[in-house]
Amino acid sequence: MTATLSLGPVLFNWGAEEKRDFYFRIADEAPLDAVYVGEVVCSKRASFFDPYLPAVVERLRRGGKQVVHSTLALILNEREMDAVKALAGERSLFIEANDIGSAALLAGRPHVIGPFVNVYNEGTLEYLASQGASRVSLPWELSSQPLAALAKSAALELEVQVFGRVPLAISARCYHARAHGLHKDGCQYVCAEDRDGMSVETLDGEAFLSVNGTQTLSHTVLNLIGELDELREMGIGAFRLWPHGVDMVAVTEVFRDVLDGKRTADDGRRRLQALAGLAPFSNGFYHGREGAALLP
């Protein structure tokens, strides 16, 4: 079975031109099959990058990538709902729905169900497939046993997240702004100061979470490069990497080499440690443990 390697949407508030150049390099150099674009976390950020989006999409397609347009994970007002409806109205686009309301707008046409939609059982998968979903990106906290059960019954492509900080939760409130003494409506876009999220520490000074605007992520970096073979044996066909402020082209090359049998998982893990040591790696959720754990 040929594996699909994908890059999720940028979750962080990177500068518009920086983000454009990031995607241009991904388009030209990264061995990816699919790239997700669009604002998932905070609609206030979208207007900065929107002028660059057509050129980015064209460059990605020219680079042989399937382009998937991602919707917001949390829709809070009519303006945001109208924006999602407008996106869904573009019938030529392949869209990832990150909430069930967006999925309803895409019923009857091929689309992706994103990892922010709770998909935990076979019945849900069957229903989503009947509505036109052709790929489901499964929630990050699923362990190997339910993943195997879902893969056994699925009539569509299943995607599992295998690299990056895990997006644990999203809120209507902006903790990033509050931490700087600001309100959400006057946030001054302070989330842009933290390229991979703002570290949150326990009272003992131990980093355990990362905050990205209204989103809470893990401090550790999910790394399932050692579990790729097992996931493929289950029937999982797609693997998602989350973008970070590291050399993501090199990261994708490592995962592609392991998927293609050109590099061992142990060698890949060592290479990733050198490339993406922004925080400790973890794989606990997959093994039925606390998410921050790292099992051999």
CATH number at residue 249: 3.20.20.70
Is 277 inside a domain boundary? yes
User: Is the Cβ–Cβ distance between 238 and 66 less than 8 Å?
Assistant: no
Is 194 inside a domain boundary? no
Is 214 inside a domain boundary? no
Q: Is the pLDDT of residue 138 over 90?
A: yes
Q: Which of 140, 72, 129, 131 is nearest to 102 (CA)?
A: 72
Place 22 in a pLDDT band, splitting at 50, 70 and 90: very high
Count up the domains in the chain and report the number: 1
Place 1 in a pLDDT band, splitting at 50, 70 and 90: low
Q: Is the pLDDT of residue 188 over 80?
A: yes
The amino acid occupying position 143 is S
Is 161 inside a domain boundary? yes
Please provide the average confidence, as pLDDT, over all residues in the chain: 96
What is the rounded CA–CA span in Å between residue 281 and residue 271?
13
**Which domain does 28 fall in, by range?**
4-166+220-287
Is 21 inside a domain boundary? yes
Q: Is the pLDDT of residue 2 over 90?
A: no
Q: State mean pLDDT over 180-200.
A: 95
Tens digits of residue pLDDT in 97-121: 999 999 999 999 999 999 999 999 9
The 8-class DSSP code of residue 9 comes to: P
Residues 6+ apart with CB under 8 A from 166: 140, 141, 217, 218, 220, 222, 285, 291
Q: Which of 38, 28, 94 is nearest to 67 (CA)?
A: 94
Is 292 inside a domain boundary? no
Tens digits of residue pLDDT in 56-91: 999 999 999 999 999 999 999 999 999 999 999 999
Cβ atoms within 10 Å, residue 127: 12
pTM of the model: 0.96
Is 39 inside a domain boundary? yes
Is 11 inside a domain boundary? yes
Q: Is the pLDDT of residue 184 over 80?
A: yes
- β-strand 133-137 against 111-113: which pairing, if any? parallel
